[in-house]
Structure 1
Amino acid sequence: MKQRLRFNHIPRLLKLAGPMILSTSAITMMQIIDTIVLSYDSSQALAAIGPSSMAVILFQGFLFGTAGYAGTFVAHNHGHGNPQGVVSSAWLGIYTALASGIVALLAAWPLAQLFLLTGHAPQVARDEQTYFWICMAGSFFPVFGSALAGWLSGIGRPALVTAVTFISLVVNALLAWGLVLGEWGLPRMGIAGAALATVTAQLIAALLYAFLFARSGGFRNSAARCLNRVEFRRFLSLAAPMGLRISGELAAWTLFLVVVGRLGIVELAASSIAFRINGIAFFPALGLGQAAGVLVGHARGAGRDDEVPAIAWQSLAVCEVWMLLMATLFATTAGPLYAIFAGNSPESAGIVVTGTLLMKFVAVYCIFDAANVMIGCVLASAGETRWIARTFSLASAIFVALLWLIDRTMPGLVAEWTLATCFVFCTAVVWLLRFRTGHWRKIQIVRGTADI
């Protein structure tokens, strides 16, 4: 009986995580499809998709993290048995998406000009610039979708998120093939076609989420729709640090790719593909983390804080098994995996050779990344967003400073990837130590239970 109780949260975790894993894996597939299609266009476009797509997510990451944190409020209110609070929380995310979409639209073109200063090859820099500004201009759609996906996940209906995600995946795949390579009578647009395909797919997803929210009566609920400025400020005080943490992490990895890109097109393309392949492991782990976060939200909203440690450790155990399997796959099949992405450009052979080396680094840091994902999601759902943002900002600053030092004194692919692996390991240790302190117990999300 004791043995059964020790793992009592795993069945609930897997039941909830299944649709979330499929959803996050679909995001990976969208990126992988774009990368494969662009490999048939040019090696410059293949190299450019890495930094530019990460830069898009860097800026959108803050918006995603802030608007998507509405899902944490939803989960806590759902656990607390407050249906009106659930809808009001969803509207907090919607209002955040509206404001952030306007800001992103205005900032898209000016920010895109920064790619011309990276020191990358001229055509690569122009491709990076094009992809970035098109995706940034359409930021409202994925951020709005993130807010309502959080609403569905928070009330325990992630299967609908999966359905919407896969529909958008199909739209992206078909449009990317047509617009990048000029198939089916469509113009050949290269990397601009990939960006337009992505934005269109995100638009379709946003419309589907809006339809589901309307069906639930969310738009008709005038009390929930009325913006409570005090509650909105309270929401932003917890959500904005979460957005900053996500954008800070993405900033560190975007700068990493920018620095690697200074070594050459082969090194940049191989590193970009490494991140794409790593997504095969990372995004299912993220789905597990999101499921664990929902369970934590339900438990804390219902006043069952003593369940949270068991949820965290059991979720981490499941995620670690997954990551060990992926690490073994990456270490033993790196060559065949890279051959799928390298295309048939003159640089393809060099990309495969370089990538085979990089996948050994990816295999190692996957093992540590399990704690980064799972414990990070648990801490965030428990309300530790401010501490997470402060700590990760410091860690990222140290990482970037050391990366700059390596680039100036002894630039090389092995040295830079070694530093990246150490960065993942150190942050994993920090999250684990913080969770063990139990400080998260002092923070309450549901209004009226305690003061934040």
Structure 2
Amino acid sequence: MKFHHVPRLLKLALPIILSTSAITVMQIIDAIVLSRHSSEAMAAIGPAGMAVILFQGFLFGTAGYAGTFVAHCHGRGDEQGVHAATWLGIYTSLAAGIAALVFAWPIAQLFLLAGHAPLVAQAERSYFLVCMTCSFFPVFGSALTGWLSGIGRPVIVTGVTFVSFAINALLAWGLVLGELGMPRLGITGAALATVSAQAMAAFIYLLLFVRAGGFGNATARRLDRQEFRRFLSLAMPMGLRISGELAAWTLFLVVVGRLGTVELAASSIAFRINGAAFFPALGLGQATSILVGHARGAGNDGEVPAIAWQALAVCEVWMLAMAALFATASEPLMTVFAGSGPESASIIATGSLLMKFVACYCLFDAANIMIGCVLAAAGDTQWLARTFFVCTAVFLALLWLLDWIRPDLVAEWTLATLFVFATAVIWSLRFRSGKWGQIRVLRGAAELST
């Protein structure tokens, strides 16, 4: 196989990888700061943070799908379509922000029913409530990130991401621990630091879009109801698939949390460390999506398989390196996040075992990420959503049975690893079938595929 797409892929991917890695660093700093505050806060950040992304995942997954429309329009050379596609994401983010405000408080109360320790449950509720009520900012940012990435300008996204990262790091240190003359707010301070950084990023993206003429283009700004319905028919399954995946892992943490605070804290830290492998791979997947969108928009469907398999090969190399690190340096990695509390030794020992599972499923997650991104960029979102919900239902049913019959941390993590493996195989078989080629993202695209 000639890897002729790899240089173009890496050139596009590197800025996106830096952006997604900056998000990982932001989460790692939050975790480290919270570990200096209390073990309850450290345990709570896992389920609460995943629950925030669970609900926001549907919202910014739907709005962010505008980037796929943008990439297809850019591939066709349709500048008017690029702005119109971006506005589809903006209108979605406005509706999403209102919905999040309405549902934030009642959903937050569910943490009190999860069976976690009272202090952990209160911390989970506080973090979720602050982040969820401010959902408009990351969702709006997702729509405009899609615009910049879709037109092949991810370097700007990287710059904005690092600005927001710096704001989050500074505010987290001050608001969690009461440093720099700020009030000591614990996990609530971590949430406020996160939403402040997201709000600043959204404001910068807004200025960039205004400067590019996006607001001054009245024709593109006009809401085309038929196109909006078509957009939602493809974008909402993508959002549902993202939120479904996050639901699976959030519920996984909830079940693990029933085993005890040590097991929950160790699992939460393991997921945080896994972000060092996952987010760069996700950045590579997003870059692959852009190339697929450009190819399909230009009518070059024949290029898509080569793009997909070459990108997967690059991702597997990365995941192999990270799996080796996780397997051989699990204890030092866990020590960084475990803090110095009375339970830190138990958290390190338990987490070191869990990192072996993380190292194993990283190898399968490469196909999950890359092939999933390719199928989504090709417009195969409805099949992705339906199939993933079936897989998730089976996974959660088996997890519930384990928790009911014989709760065991190793058994539950083994099941999670098998779940990752199964979905990777299913996505790969779907892509090899070629059925994605029958789907058209843009109206009028059929005449370009000859």
| Correspondence for 1:130 | 126
| Correspondence for 1:91 | 87
How big is the alpha-carbon RMSD for the aligned residues of Structure 1 and Structure 2?
A: 0.7
| Correspondence for 1:366 | 362
* Secondary structure of the structure 2 residue equivalent to 1:345: coil
Normalised TM-score (structure 1): 0.98
1:382 aligns with 2:384: no
- Code of the residue aligned with 1:248 in structure 2: it is G
**Alpha-carbon distance between aligned partners in 2 of 1:299 and 1:66, rounded to the nearest angstrom:** 22
Pairwise CA distance, 1:18: 0.3
Unaligned runs of 5+ in 2: none
Match of 1:220 among 210, 216, 220: 216
| Correspondence for 1:429 | 425
**Alpha-carbon distance between aligned partners in 2 of 1:439 and 1:78, rounded to the nearest angstrom:** 23
Pairwise CA distance, 1:106: 1.1
* Secondary structure of the structure 2 residue equivalent to 1:317: helix
Pairwise CA distance, 1:447: 1.5
- Code of the residue aligned with 2:429 in structure 1: it is L
* Secondary structure of the structure 1 residue equivalent to 2:446: coil
1:26 aligns with 2:22: yes
| Correspondence for 1:12 | 8
| Correspondence for 2:255 | 259
**Alpha-carbon distance between aligned partners in 1 of 2:265 and 2:245, rounded to the nearest angstrom:** 21
Pairwise CA distance, 1:64: 1.2
| Correspondence for 1:47 | 43
Equivalent pair of 1:80/1:446 in contact (CA under 8 Å)? no
| Correspondence for 1:292 | 288
Pairwise CA distance, 1:359: 0.2
1:412 aligns with 2:404: no
- Code of the residue aligned with 2:365 in structure 1: it is D
Deviation digits for residues 402-446 of structure 1 (CA, Å, limit 9, x no counterpart): 000000001011000000000000000000000000001101112
**Alpha-carbon distance between aligned partners in 2 of 1:431 and 1:419, rounded to the nearest angstrom:** 19
Equivalent pair of 2:297/2:445 in contact (CA under 8 Å)? no
**Alpha-carbon distance between aligned partners in 1 of 2:187 and 2:102, rounded to the nearest angstrom:** 22
| Correspondence for 1:37 | 33
The runs of 4+ residues in structure 1 deviating greater than 3 Å are none
Equivalent pair of 1:70/1:93 in contact (CA under 8 Å)? yes
**Alpha-carbon distance between aligned partners in 2 of 1:36 and 1:419, rounded to the nearest angstrom:** 29
| Correspondence for 1:312 | 308
Deviation digits for residues 354-402 of structure 1 (CA, Å, limit 9, x no counterpart): 0000000000000000000000000000000000000000000000000
**Alpha-carbon distance between aligned partners in 1 of 2:24 and 2:136, rounded to the nearest angstrom:** 20
Normalised TM-score (structure 2): 0.99
| Correspondence for 1:185 | 181
- Code of the residue aligned with 1:153 in structure 2: it is S
Alignment of 1:215-364 (within 5 A): 215-364=211-360
Equivalent pair of 2:55/2:243 in contact (CA under 8 Å)? yes
- Code of the residue aligned with 2:101 in structure 1: it is L
Pairwise CA distance, 1:162: 0.4
Equivalent pair of 1:35/1:49 in contact (CA under 8 Å)? yes
* Secondary structure of the structure 2 residue equivalent to 1:218: coil
**Alpha-carbon distance between aligned partners in 2 of 1:61 and 1:416, rounded to the nearest angstrom:** 24
Question: What percentage of aligned pairs have identical amino acids?
Answer: 73
Match of 1:65 among 61, 64, 67: 61
**Alpha-carbon distance between aligned partners in 2 of 1:443 and 1:398, rounded to the nearest angstrom:** 28
